[in-house]
Amino acid sequence: MEMIACGTNNTPSSTIKTIRISRIVEIYVTVEEISILVAYVMYKQKLQYRQELCYKSTINGCSLEIGGKEKFFEDQNFMELFFSHLIIILSLTNLISYLSFFYD
């Protein structure tokens, strides 16, 4: 099966929506001290896609990088942003009825 990346001109909200309505088959998460890299592998229209999102801590909040474009979120914690997006993405599936995360 051919694997291609989702469009690189996506905004964070449209990318989250695309991931949410797609059939996710794998999720890879790499957590570092100041960043989280998540890769969603999904199927859409019989093609396999891989979409990577990188959440980074910044001085005044955090940033989200998608396809080489970066959006800044003032006064936002990168972990909280990642988890809020993950909950939104997974809330459409019937596999998860409740998802909660705790960190210090």
Q: How far is CA 17 from CA 2, 41, 49, 88, 93, in A?
A: 22, 14, 14, 9, 13
C-alpha 55/C-alpha 94 separation (Å) is 26
What class has domain 3-90?
alpha beta
CB 91, CB 83: distance < 8 Å? no
Question: What pLDDT, in 10s, does the model give residues 41-100?
Answer: 888 778 888 899 999 999 999 999 998 899 999 999 999 999 989 888 887 665 555 555
Question: What pLDDT, in 10s, does the model give residues 10-38?
Answer: 577 888 887 877 778 888 999 999 999 99
The full DSSP string for 51-92 is EEEEEEEETTEEEEEETTEEEEEET--HHHHHHHHHHHHHTT
Tally the residues of the chain: 104
C-alpha 61/C-alpha 72 separation (Å) is 8
CB 29, CB 101: distance < 8 Å? no
Question: What is the reported pTM?
Answer: 0.78
